[in-house]
Chains A and B, each alone.
Chain A
Amino acid sequence: MIRPTHFKHGFIAALLHRLSGIALAIFLPLHFLALGTALRGADRLDAFFNLTHNLWVRTAEWGLVTALALHLALGLRVLVLESAGWRERTASLVSGCVAGSLAIGILFLLNAL
């Protein structure tokens, strides 16, 4: 059976871009629901904010911040490729996007702890 190989930098970049986009799309309605609690008074909003001190919620927030940074960085990569005609060092560019996004996630985590 002949199988395609997908361990290519461009493929990995597109996969991460798509997955982080899906994660953000799932998060957004929840985000608006959370903001909507403010319409029912400050107490309801504060009660929700208390939830965010939970370790699991913090971890999920770290994941979201990382996904957002990743989606932004890899989206900019596509724009640079297609608008500015960049073609050199694909591997370095993708690695840089992933490393930068992880660094932003870690900074968020350190700040939150």
Chain B
Amino acid sequence: MQSDTLELDIWRGDRDGQFQAFTLPLRESQTILDAVTEIQRTQDASLAYRFACRVGMCGSCAMIVDGIPRWTCRTRVVDVQRKGKRLKLEPLRNLPIVKDLAVEMRVFFDKWRDAKGYFEPGDTPPADFAVVAPSSRERRAADVAIECINCGICYSACDVVSWDDEYLGPAALNRSWTLVNDVRDQGQKSRLEAVAADAGCHSCHSHMSCTEFCPKALSPTQSIAGLKRETMRAALRGEV
């Protein structure tokens, strides 16, 4: 018989914290974020977590649900709960825990900067709009990787990040790949040098966890492979 209650174990505290049990009514189409919000509003106002848009756009509500990193606003309880069993919620891995389910994202975004994950217009702006054909090879390669919402799920799932604090991580490298394919960008040399360094794309072991768990169905593995090929070509040309 289907239980009408939902039982959760939620991580409380910082790195040295522990799980706390909560019970609340099971509701139709209830998401994990709905459940956490209900607990915070009706049972424990001190429960810390992060969210903004609630519709899968902002990427701020990611958590570990039963061992799997997920965007909780788009994850329904009925889809992940195994036959009425308790659900375990933890903060994202590989990032410092601020409190409970909220993690410090500073390192994650610092690495975007370190991977030159920003558009570099160059010293002299072009006289006119750049024409980029939607069918061009570069535009299509960028399109495949462009929809990242910075949720940090790939960073949390990456084994290499857990071994090497310096590794730039899937999201930053994925962003870098979209810019490598931006024909308007004037900072390609420094970008390729940044991603070809020790903690860059060549550290990826192609475990594909980022691709497996990305809620937007992107493939950072494929983007990183593209960077590996591009940095190799640049090295053969003596550019990096």
Chain A residues within 8 Å of B, Cβ to Cβ: 2, 4-6, 8-11, 13-14, 78, 81-83, 85, 87, 90
Cα A2 to Cα B18 in complex, Å, equals 9
Among B91, B206, B212, B228, residue most surrounded by chain A Cβ atoms (within 10 Å): B206
Specify which of B90, B212, B221, B225 is in contact with A2 (CB 8 Å cutoff).
B90
Q: Work out how many contacts link A and B, with CB atoms closer than 8 A.
A: 53
Q: Is B208 in contact with A90, judged by CB distance below 8 angstroms?
A: yes
Task: Tell whether, in the assembled complex, residue B209 and residue A10 are in contact, meaning their CB atoms are under 8 Å apart.
Answer: yes
Q: Determine whether the beta carbon of A14 is less than 8 Å from that of B205.
A: yes
Q: How far is the CB of A87 from chain B (nearest CB, A)?
A: 5
Which of B68, B207, B211, B229 is A11 in contact with, Cβ under 8 Å?
B207
State which of A4, A5, A10, A83 has its C-beta within 8 Å of the C-beta of B208.
A10
A96 CA / B162 CA spacing, docked (Å): 28
| Distance, CA A32 to CA B47, complexed state (A) | 63
Q: Give the complex CA separation of A14 and B203 in angstroms.
A: 13
Rounded to whole Å, the gap between the CB of A11 and the closest CB of chain B is: 5
Can you spell out 18 A-B residue pairs with CB atoms less than 8 angstroms apart? Answer: A2-B15, A4-B93, A4-B162, A8-B209, A10-B206, A10-B207, A10-B208, A14-B207, A81-B221, A81-B225, A82-B225, A83-B225, A85-B226, A87-B208, A87-B221, A87-B222, A90-B208, A90-B212
Inter-chain pairs besides A87-B208, A90-B211, 19 sampled, C-beta below 8 Å: A2-B90, A4-B93, A4-B162, A5-B68, A10-B206, A10-B207, A10-B212, A11-B209, A14-B206, A81-B221, A82-B228, A83-B225, A83-B229, A85-B222, A85-B225, A85-B226, A87-B211, A87-B221, A90-B208
By a CB distance below 8 angstroms, the chain A residues around B11 are: 2
Q: Considering the chains assembled together, what is the distance between the CA atoms of A35 and B226 in angstroms?
A: 42
Query: Chain B: which residue is nearest A82 at the CB level?
Result: B225
Does B67 sit within 8 A of A, measured CB to CB?
yes
CB distance from A94 to the nearest CB of B (A): 10
Whether the Cβ atoms of B206 and A78 lie closer than 8 Å is: yes
Q: A82-B228, A85-B222, A87-B222 are in contact. Are A2 and B207 (CB under 8 A)?
A: no
- Of B15, B208, B219, chain A has the most CB atoms within 10 Å of the CB of B208
